[in-house]
């Protein structure tokens, strides 16, 4: 079995956001760094999330945690971390997303069966990224980011302007709009309050006519509302993802697949009972 391609039509048919399971093969990710660094543990974790109902698997080999302290990793090191695990994860048969800001790492993963690039700099950091995506026909997650948070700005206006720039880059490179997903980048280049605003006003970003991905899992804004370390932010994460689902999110990126999926399914059932067809 090989990894499935990303099929946005199939995910729309779910009637709820697709669940993207997070797999960090890193020593320093903010929530689970080091837990899945060995190939056996990483592959087992990917299979576990697939068994819990994940529809997409997102693999990262460099921490991009937005709160500082992450060590930059050379492309060669990212590839060395991915090489022992990617073939077996691809064989699970789900669409595989590569979480990287480096075009050479994206190319390595796409050549080995990954179906999507999750770029935390939205095609605006590595000048070769859009070309690699266009040349392979992969899907791409364009995430909003900033070098630093600026509390005084209108964060939704900033996100929209960023997306417009990214979409121009994508168009000039030949990336098909049908392959693009937009991510407001909860926690990245934002104050905790701005992350809440981005979730509250998520529906405004639907004007781009593209699927929206939300990754609020265990993020710092939850701690600011209800103090808890990352591993104890499940309830807050689910609350944020349910709100995102109500606002039209197409994908949620999560650490806790089974519990999030259960919440999304119950919310969907309630919504359908309220408005039977």
| The pair of three-digit structure tokens given for residue 8, joined into one six-digit string | 């946005």
Position 26 scores a pLDDT of 82
**pLDDT given at position 35:** 60
Taking residue 212's Cβ as centre, other Cβ atoms within 10 Å add up to 21
Say which residue, 71 or 102, is predicted with more confidence: 102
Residue 1, pLDDT above cutoff 70: no
Tell me the pLDDT tens digit for each residue of 221-267: 999 999 999 999 999 999 999 999 999 999 999 999 999 999 999 99
Question: pLDDT digits over 44-87, tens only?
Answer: 999 999 999 999 999 999 977 655 556 788 999 999 999 999 99
214: helix, strand or coil = strand
What is the maximum alpha-carbon separation in the chain? Answer: 53
User: Per CATH, which fold does 8-274 belong to?
Assistant: TIM Barrel (3.20.20)
Lowest mean pLDDT, pick from 23-27, 58-62, 149-153: 23-27
Catalytic residue, chosen from 65, 81, 219, 233, is: 219
Distance CA 194, CA 159 (A): 11
Out of 253, 259, 265, 274, the active site residue is 253
pLDDT at 8: 78
pLDDT digits (tens, 9 = 90+) for 116-132: 999 999 999 999 999 99
Quote the pTM value: 0.93
Catalytic-residue membership of 224: no
Q: Please indicate whether residue 36 or residue 219 has the higher confidence score (pLDDT).
A: 219
Residue 271 annotated in active site: no
The domain limits of the chain are 8-274
Q: What average pLDDT does range 188-194 have in this prediction?
A: 97
Contacts of 167-170 spanning 24+ positions with Cβ under 8 A = 167/142, 167/208, 169/123, 169/124, 169/130, 170/123, 170/130, 170/133, 170/134, 170/140, 170/142
CA dihedral sign, ordered 34, 37, 40, 46? positive
């Amino acid at each position: 079995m090989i990894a499935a391609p990303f099929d946005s039509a199939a995910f729309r048919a779910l009637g709820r956001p697709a669940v993207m399971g997070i797999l960090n093969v890193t020593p320093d990710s903010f929530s689970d760094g080091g837990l899945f660094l060995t190939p056996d543990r990483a592959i087992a974790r990917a299979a576990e999330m697939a068994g819990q109902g994940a529809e997409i698997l997102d693999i990262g080999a460099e921490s991009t945690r937005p709160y500082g302290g992450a060590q930059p990793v050379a492309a060669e090191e990212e590839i060395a971390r991915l090489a022992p695990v990617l073939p077996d994860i691809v064989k699970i048969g789900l669409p595989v997303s590569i979480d990287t800001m480096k075009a050479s790492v994206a190319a390595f993963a796409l050549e080995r069966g990954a179906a999507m690039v999750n770029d935390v700099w939205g095609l605006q950091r590595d000048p070769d990224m859009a070309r690699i995506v266009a040349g392979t026909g992969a899907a791409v997650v364009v995430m909003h980011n900033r070098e630093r948070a600026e509390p005084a700005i209108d964060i939704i206006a900033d996100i929209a302007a960023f997306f417009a720039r990214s979409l121009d880059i994508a168009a000039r490179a030949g990336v098909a709009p049908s392959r693009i997903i937009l991510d407001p980048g909860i926690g990245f280049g934002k104050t905790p309050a701005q992350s809440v605003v981005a979730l509250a006003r998520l529906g405004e970003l639907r004007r781009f006519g593209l699927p929206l991905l939300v990754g609020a899992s265990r993020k710092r804004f939850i701690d600011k509302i209800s103090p808890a370390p990352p591993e104890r932010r499940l309830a807050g994460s689910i609350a944020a993802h349910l709100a995102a689902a109500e606002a039209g999110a197409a994908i949620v990126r999560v650490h806790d697949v089974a519990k999030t999926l259960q919440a999304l399914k119950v919310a969907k059932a309630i919504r359908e009972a309220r408005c039977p067809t």
